[in-house]
Structure 1
């Protein structure tokens, strides 16, 4: 197993978890706030061409309080060393904020690469009040608050909707995202799905379509942090009124009034839990933390549940993945790697 660590380390862990080897050649990363070494995926042709792709928060030039942004690099993994490393994407523009990097990677069936990008949680009082944030996720000249789709060499993928301009020209797939930290390709339809950190009570699961606008920061089922979501208020604090349609894409489901803080996403296809075939599984860092299972009926959510998993009490689940053995593997913020199988 290939695992990234916030501090900037990358390690290869044996299947049984008994040994751990550090990978050399990883570039330096900006570790402030939510930054660090983030996602890693294998090339679709890894068996014959051993490239890996990884995202990280990249610092700007100089020292002190300098801007940072999400970057994606690829390199060949030879033994435990990265070779021929090239940065294939840099989020534009870099900013001094330390949050909402997004940075999840997912390869489409056609071998193009999706990158999810947060809006970086900055505010621009000239455009909006500080309680609602800036319009960067709606600005089609930047890659902040977007999903981009690129070729493996970093060039724009053909077939993108053509909605970007300037630094984002040719790259954008969708926009209006806040902080999408989970991404997965549906095994049957090939569609991209993402989990997204909303504001208080506004975490979402979305099917991401070409050219789709997911509303942030103009509309959300969440509220400004600290607002009274329930009681006599009954959700009246929802940003923009909550309902997305008809102007924006509705989430497939959302969590409220509490925030689960979704961290990752996968679709289960293994044989270990046949009753979960085709279900979405996502990690959660906040209230009701752990692993959530979402059952789909087509593109609609039929049901969802927080799974009861032994040993997860008090653990923030950062990543959920399916192993080749059909079992689940979880990474927690406390540094645990947990295998979930049947007793």
Structure 2
């Protein structure tokens, strides 16, 4: 899980009125993104959960469902520097992290580190599973440690820092499944579905009439986002709800339909994501509903369904839904 976000010293002392104003700004974020993205309210909420948790997200869907547009709109609304990496089989790790180059100066030649596209606040790793495993691994240190190492030197990444990666379903040709160590670094795996007929009609009207891509307004600053991140971590959760969340994660290790269960990192992710959802909903405490709502996105990429269960058509979401804990 990521480290605590760096905030100003007044973040923890925010008043109820200040918290209300911050939550109102989050509502405006949804409104602004809605100018470009039709529907997908649950997906937008889960992306906001990742931002509030200072975590990374993996978005999966078939091509053409607006993943890239959604992430770009989010970065503009929250005043975050945006960078896009188009993953292809010939992409090299240095194409992501950067590399040392030789430059001439008044004293002669020197090696200078040229920053790669990973040096941004929001890094869109588009079609991440089209890159080779070696290149995928180049993001691992950035996602976990918020830094990159090149030529023996360590370089800190801008804060806040998020990797929002998209991937096509793994049964498509030309894809490389992400290793478990990398998928575990994603706070959430968000699955997008096709829009309804009415939503698709609105999408067609929005992008085939008028002057093109609708403009969005920046409504949250970086400092405000970091304040929100601190407030989310301080949001109280009752001990019984926390314990049930942990028990839910632990149940993935004993379920007959699951071959490999989730690690303790999933327990931390589930509690933190539930806090962020409660904050987004304008509540000052976490409910069990928050935990249940976030469980599929937190767990679906951290478990492996047993071969027999998979042959019978059981999906990770089915296996998660079948879990039960006392409460």
Shorter chain as denominator, the TM-score bin is under 0.3
Structure with greater Cα Rg: 2
Higher strand share: 1
TM-score with structure 1 setting the length: 0.26
Higher helix share: 2
> Larger RCO: Structure 1 or Structure 2 (Cα < 8 Å, ≥ 6 residues apart)?
2
**Could you state the TM-score of these two structures normalised by the residue count of structure 2?**
0.27
